[in-house]
Amino acid sequence: MEILIKGARIIDCCHDFVGDLYIKDGTIEEVGKSLNKDCENIEADGYVLMPAFVDLHSHFRDPGLTYKEDIETGSKAAVHGGYTAVNLMANTKPVCSDMQTFDYVVSKAEKIGLIDVHQTVSITKDFKGSEIDHLDLLDERVKCISDDGKDVYSSKVMLQAMMKAKEKNLVVMCHAEDEELTPIDTRLSENVATFRDISLAKYAGCHAHISHVSTIEAMNYIIEAKKQGYRITCEVAPHHIALTSRISYRVNPSLREESDVQYLIKCIKDGWVDSIGTDHAPHSKEDKEKGAPGLTGLETSFSVCFTELVKAGHISLNKLSEIMSKNPAEIMKMKKGKIQLGYDGDVVLLDLDKKYKIDAQKFFSKGKNTPLDGLEFYGEVVKTIKGGKIVYSRD
């Protein structure tokens, strides 16, 4: 498989130039100018070419909840949004607490062949909050554990799991929520749980990744831990930098105040935020009407982040590439996220001048649930290329 992309503005975390990119046998083989190859050529003058995006936080609902989403529709949604790698949460049915379920998801994704999928395994067996013996049975392919959708209630169990994660070199992805406090105050719930999870991670010495950070206070706990040298990383979701609590839409954690949004943007600019995590959470219309939290996010993530962060003048495209591609790929131990020789030939061609209106009915995902429906953003995906193969094209 060979492909040559000519005349694009090539941007990653540390490069910005006009040139050509040649991908052969799945990897980036050559970068330069006026390259000539006897293979498929894409004329990309006027477009931006970036490393394809990597999502640390998605829900594909397969197995067991495929009326919301499945591996195929989730994969199609991903490439439509410029993503070629996703990390799936374990809140499926059954809960992914064993290698059998892990293998089911990964093998199905491989057969579909659109994106690379990593399946997260639950911290506690079946999300019941007590048993962690299943962690001893995980093989080296598992990179992350998480009870996302809920936090681990017992601090003792969480500490034991984090110590096990340290031994096995696993990333503990923390859904910071004290469920006893959530009905009282969702902000307090997130803040208390974030402080607890970071404190436990410090003691255990593990790598803790704080998911979907949404408040000033939670972000400050993370910054302090980072300053102290602990292995703490974090993500921010696109909807938490584009929307505020003035919009009545249920996500978990909740949409916050304008001051929180501006602070999260400042922390992205200052380098405290490691990645953008979409928290792609597709639901049926009926489930959403019954109060299911979450939104469909893979197909709108780039345009939202480009518009709210780059177009608004807060950060550069290089920085956006760092938090949407390079950093999440490094956390996932994938050789992606850079325009560099020998890296995976996963790239996305973008039309940054294109302003378009989001139409949820045109999503590739089964989930049409988004408060962004009808809003306008800049930056449209023209083509998504994985390993030198075009897996999505808008034309």
Quick one: fold of 2-49+345-393? Urease, subunit C; domain 1 (2.30.40)
Q: Which of 277, 23, 101, 337 is nearest to 109 (CA)?
A: 101
**360 Cα distance to chain centroid:** 20
pLDDT the model gives residue 323: 98
Neighbour tally for 361: CB within 10 Å: 6
β-bridge mates for residue 380, sequence order:
351
Q: How far is CA 268 from CA 56, 60, 324, 333, in A?
A: 16, 27, 12, 22
Rounded-to-integer distance, Cα 280 and Cα 321, Å: 19
Reply yes or no on domain 52-331 having CATH 3.40.50.2000.
Answer: no
What single-letter amino acid sits at 334? M
Query: CB neighbours of 316 closer than 8 A, spacing ≥ 6?
Result: 310
pTM above threshold 0.85: yes
Backbone angles phi, psi at 346, to 5 degrees: -105, 110
Distance CA 116, CA 272 (A): 27
From first to last of its 395 residues, the chain has per-residue pLDDT tens of: 899 999 999 999 999 999 999 999 999 999 999 999 999 999 999 999 999 999 999 999 999 999 999 999 999 999 999 999 999 999 999 999 999 999 999 999 999 999 999 999 999 999 999 999 999 999 999 999 999 999 999 999 999 999 999 999 999 999 999 999 999 999 999 999 999 999 999 999 999 999 999 999 999 999 999 999 999 999 999 999 999 999 999 999 999 999 999 999 999 999 999 999 999 999 999 999 999 999 999 999 999 999 999 999 999 999 999 999 999 999 999 999 999 999 999 999 999 999 999 999 999 999 999 999 999 999 999 999 999 999 999 98
Other CB atoms within 10 A of residue 376 CB: 11
Tell me, what's the pLDDT at 46?
Answer: 97
Cβ contact 328:337 at 8 Å: yes
CA 207 to chain centre: 17
**Between helices 216-227 and 258-269, what is the axis angle to 10°?**
20
pLDDT at 33: 94
The continuous run of DSSP H or E covering 250 comes out as none
Instruction: Kindly list the domain boundaries of the chain, sorted by start residue.
Output: 2-49+345-393, 52-331
2-49+345-393 and 52-331 agree in CATH topology: no
**Residue of 55, 116, 279, 344 with catalytic role:** 279
CA gap 351, 46 in Å, rounded: 8
What sign for the dihedral angle of Cα 377, 292, 102, 213? positive
| Rounded Cα–Cα distance for residues 395 and 389 (Å) | 15
CA 164 – CA 61 distance, rounded (Å) = 27
Tell me what pLDDT residue 395 has: 86
* 151 flagged as catalytic: no
